[in-house]
Homo-oligomer: A and B are copies of this chain.
């Protein structure tokens, strides 16, 4: 009965999220002996001013 939390840039479509959650669930069932009925996938959408890599905010990067 696992829980998967995905920290993700905001802006993905519902269609992308639907496919993503399905694929992660399938991976958990296939590789981690998870039963799907109590398996949660939770997406935290994070804006570009709330995420930094290498000390630089997403709003200040030109490569993302």
Closest B-chain residue to A23, C-beta based?
A: B27
Pair A27/B20 contact, Cβ less than 8 Å: yes
Query: Range of interface residues on chain A?
Result: 35 or more
A39: min CB distance to chain B, Å: 6
- A55 and B34 alpha carbons, distance in the complex (Å): 12
A5: min CB distance to chain B, Å: 5
Which listed residue, B9, B17, B27, B64, touches A50 by the CB 8 Å rule?
A: B17
Within A35-57, the residues touching B (CB, 8 Å) are: 36-46, 49-57
8 A-B pairs with the lowest CB-CB distances in the bound complex, closest first:
A25-B55, A21-B52, A23-B27, A20-B31, A43-B50, A3-B7, A19-B31, A36-B54
